[in-house]
Amino acid sequence: MPRLLLAGGGDAEDSQQLDTLLVQLTAGGSMLYLPIALALQQRSYESCYHWIRAVFFPARIDSITMWTDVSQKTVADVESFAAIYIGGGNTFKLLNDFRHTGFDHVLLHFIERGGIVYGGSAGAIIFGKDIMTASSLDSNDVGLQDTAGFDLVHGCSVWCHYHERDDPKIMAYIEQYQHPVIALSERTGLFVKDDMMQATGFEPVIVFERQRRVAFPPTSPVTISES
């Protein structure tokens, strides 16, 4: 059953509470870091590794391994990790890379075996029902045709970097795709554990359904009314 920590896409200060929860859940275990959603012209992988170390090494995740290519990775390769951290970037690129390398199956097996996955921005959106929630921020330069996500967030799609001005776009999305949306601001996170979801962070998690928009404050359970 899934144990997912989904961040809205802010910096380390914004995601502090969700990051702390990740440290608690890993209990000193090692972590795999995947920054592959980023295009190299945006930021070097070396700088990404320095960033992740700066965030989590002081918090006592001492062993962090970074992979920049998952094409040859297998289920056996991820078994030693307590958690996998999937960073932000282009959501279409990320999902396309996972599918073309077969790493999507490796990741799902890791989750099914009880592994913890943290997704930031693009890394969060791929776990929703469909990744077209990213289309207003990310370009589909890879020509991804099947935009279905992993659908591990109670039948919802995930909208990151949320602002209230996004409300009309989200309602239009729901009208087109006919399923709910969970919206996360950059100071908000969502913890998904089995059949439970909980708001984590400094601002509410917003659930959009056809007939309602509900804000769930930090630490409160997040519920979906639509079947």
In a domain, 143, yes or no: yes
- State percent of the chain over pLDDT 70: 98
Residue 221 lies in a domain: no
Closest CA to 53 of 73, 76, 35: 35
Question: What single-letter amino acid sits at 110?
Answer: F
Residue 130 lies in a domain: yes
pLDDT in tens, 6-43: 999 999 999 999 999 999 999 889 999 999 999 866 77
Please give the pLDDT value at position 154: 96
Look up the CATH number of the domain holding residue 86: 3.40.50.880
Q: What is the pLDDT of residues 191-223, one digit of tens each?
A: 999 899 999 999 999 999 998 999 999 999 999
| Residue 227 pLDDT exceeds 60 | no
Phi-psi region of 60 (alpha: psi -120 to 50; beta: other; left: phi over 0): left
> What is the pLDDT of the chain when averaged over all its residues?
95
Q: Answer for the pair 208, 156: CB distance below 8 angstroms, yes or no.
A: no
Mean pLDDT of 66-84: 97
pLDDT at 211: 83
- Burial of 54 per CB tally in 10 Å (0-12, 13-18, 19+): exposed
> CA neighbours within 13 Å on the CB side: how many for 60?
10
Sign of CA dihedral 107, 97, 166, 189: positive
The model's pLDDT over 152-188, given as tens digits with 9 standing for 90+, comes to: 999 999 999 999 999 999 999 999 999 999 999 999 9
The Cα 30–Cα 7 span in angstroms is: 20
pLDDT range class, residue 94, cuts 50, 70, 90: very high
Report yes or no on 227 lying in a domain: no
Q: What is the pLDDT of residue 28?
A: 83
The pTM for the full model equals: 0.96
**Residue 62 — pLDDT band, cuts 50, 70, 90?**
confident
- Residue 119 domain boundaries: 3-216
The pLDDT score that the predictor gives to residue 226 is 64
- 110 domain-assigned: yes
What's the confidence (pLDDT) of residue 31?
Answer: 97
How confident is the model over 85-112, as a mean pLDDT? 97
Q: Which residues, listed in sequence order, are joined to residue 3 by a DSSP beta bridge?
A: 116, 193
How would you class 192 by CB atoms within 10 Å of its CB: exposed for 0-12, middle for 13-18, buried for 19 or more?
buried
**Confidence category of residue 116, pLDDT binned at 50, 70, 90:** very high
According to the model, what pLDDT value does residue 39 have?
80
Q: How many domains does the chain have?
A: 1
